[in-house]
């Protein structure tokens, strides 16, 4: 059987088996990857909004709480207890440097997303193996379910040039 490659877009959730690949591109969004300790199954979500939907449909997986619950459901369907899983968390970049601050309190959506993700995993008792969060960068994320860690390519955002100051 040919290995499967799943490309996740904002709000997507996927669960695949050993040898299958998941990939996504992140800005302020956050991806959570979960796997069983033997790394036979992997699940990934692409979270757009931290927490629970307010007024949005209760099944909207763009919201972190719904996405994490959906991942848990998919893992249980494959016989995996999500609370026994290991995790990686990526993304949460500040896509508007210079316009907003670097914290959630300053309006940074990426910071709000990664703070929510780390808190939700902590509350669930899920051990986090690695993170690449925040900063002024996009991240290309790829993971083939198995013994190796996910591949993360950080793409720094180009800064606009400083204004030229002429001297008399």
Give, to the nearest 10 degrees, the angle between helix 64-77 and helix 109-123.
Answer: 40
Within 8 A by CB and 6+ apart from 17, the residues are: 40, 41, 42, 78, 145
Three-class DSSP labels, 125-152: CCEEEEEEECCCEEEEEEEECCCCCCEE
Residues shown for the chain? 168
- pLDDT per residue over 40-83, tens digit each? 999 999 999 998 887 766 678 999 999 999 999 999 999 999 99
96 pLDDT band (50/70/90 cuts)? Answer: confident
Distance CA 11, CA 6 (A): 14
- If one compares 60 and 20, the residue with the highest pLDDT of the two is 20
Q: Looking at the domain covering 5-80+88-131+143-156, what would its CATH class be?
A: alpha beta
Every domain of the chain and the residues it spans: 5-80+88-131+143-156
Whether the Cβ atoms of residue 116 and residue 67 lie closer than 8 Å to each other: no
């Amino acid at each position: 059987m040919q290995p499967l490659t799943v490309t996740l877009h904002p709000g997507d959730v996927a669960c695949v088996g050993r040898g299958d690949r998941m990939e996504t591109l992140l800005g302020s969004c956050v991806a959570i990857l979960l796997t069983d300790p033997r790394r036979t199954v992997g699940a990934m979500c692409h979270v757009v909004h931290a927490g629970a939907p307010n007024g949005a449909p209760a099944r909207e997986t763009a919201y972190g709480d719904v996405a994490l619950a959906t991942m848990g459901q998919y893992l249980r369907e494959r016989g995996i207890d999500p609370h026994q899983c290991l995790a990686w968390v990526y993304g949460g970049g500040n896509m508007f440097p210079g316009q907003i601050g670097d914290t959630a309190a300053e309006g940074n959506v990426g910071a709000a997303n990664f703070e929510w993700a780390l808190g939700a995993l902590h509350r669930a008792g899920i051990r986090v193996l690695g993170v690449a969060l925040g900063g002024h960068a996009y991240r290309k994320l790829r993971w083939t379910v198995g013994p190796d860690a996910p591949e993360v390519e950080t793409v720094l955002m180009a800064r606009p040039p400083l204004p030229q100051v002429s001297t008399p």
